[in-house]
Structure 1
Amino acid sequence: MFDHTGIVVTDLARARRFYDAIARALGLQTADNGPEAFLFGKSAAEPIPYLWIGTTRPSYWAEGSRAGINQMHVAFKAKDKAMVEAFYQAALANGGTDNGAPGPRQGAGGYYGAFVLDPDGNNIEAAARGPAAT
């Protein structure tokens, strides 16, 4: 649904380990985007939408902003419950912190998700919907 979004991180190598691991679990990819950033998305053949992840201070930031001060939430589509669980395990094994173990979500109807905090405190989710969530 989005073209792109981005988050600023404090340690690019640490973030890359985390996002490389969850990309593999979700069937996605990461790609270099210069020395201070990388992209997280589907593939070179289908580059949009993507998540930009880097250490550069964005020109649109309000005064006083810094990595981790304004928590971001990004939910990635998972094809089924097994993919949600693989995402969760990959995240925890690569610097993520539990923020909601895999399971059905109340009030969401046909929704199975997991929440983790990335190394900078951003809330990252994987979710399966509909028949894939049962």
Structure 2
Amino acid sequence: MPLVDHLGITVEDLPRAVAQFDPVLTALGMERTDGDNGVAWYAEDETELILFPAREEGTGPHRHGTIGWQHLAFAVGSRADVDRLHATALAAGWSAVREPKTYPRFNERYYASFVEDDNGIRIEFMHNPPKPQSD
């Protein structure tokens, strides 16, 4: 059973947000389901991500660093996956916050990129393989 069952995100323009999220979440292996009041993506036996339309227009975008959402990190299998997903996000209209690079302040293996959508939603693609075991 996953630790986090689902994550709901409120967006200003649902069709625009779907156009930005769908290529990224599909590339992560998630399947999309359109509902009456939102759009959801599922990974088999894993967490669900749902986009909901804002209840009040003109209340966004979210500003990074204010109270609330900070970012969501997706762990991927390789540096090439980080690069591929970053490019996929940019092609879907996301803005680059940080290009793919290593983060030695975490460890020498940590490789990540950060992107942000029109709503100020920030996500990270990261690869942090286990430290090699010494004999």
TM-score between the two structures when normalised by the length of structure 1: 0.78
Larger Rg, first or second structure (1 or 2)? 2
Query: Structure 1 stretches (4+) deviating beyond 4 angstroms?
Result: none
Give the structure 1 partner of residue 72 of structure 2. Answer: 74
Alpha-carbon displacement from aligned partner over 1:68-120 (angstroms, at most 9, x marks no partner): 23543111121111111111111111110000111112311121111000121
Say which SS state the counterpart of residue 66 (structure 1) adopts.
Answer: coil
Contact 2:100 2:111 in 1 (8 A): yes
Residue 118 of structure 2 corresponds to 119
Instruction: Determine whether 1:129 maps to 2:128.
Output: yes
Match of 2:86 among 85, 88, 92: 88
Matching of residue 20 in structure 1 with residue 22 in structure 2: yes
The residue number in structure 2 matching 1:62 is: none
The structural deviation recorded for 1:25 is 2.4
Q: Number of residue pairs matched? A: 122
Q: CA RMSD in A?
A: 2.3
Aligned-partner Cα distance in 2 for 1:50–1:112 = 25
Amino acid at match of 2:29: G
**1:103, 1:114 within 8 Å by CA — same for their partners in 2?**
yes
- Residues 67 and 53 from structure 1, CA distance in 2 versus in 1: closer, same or farther, beyond 3 angstroms? farther
Q: Which runs of 5+ in 2 are unaligned?
A: 131-135
5+ residue gaps in structure 1?
59-64
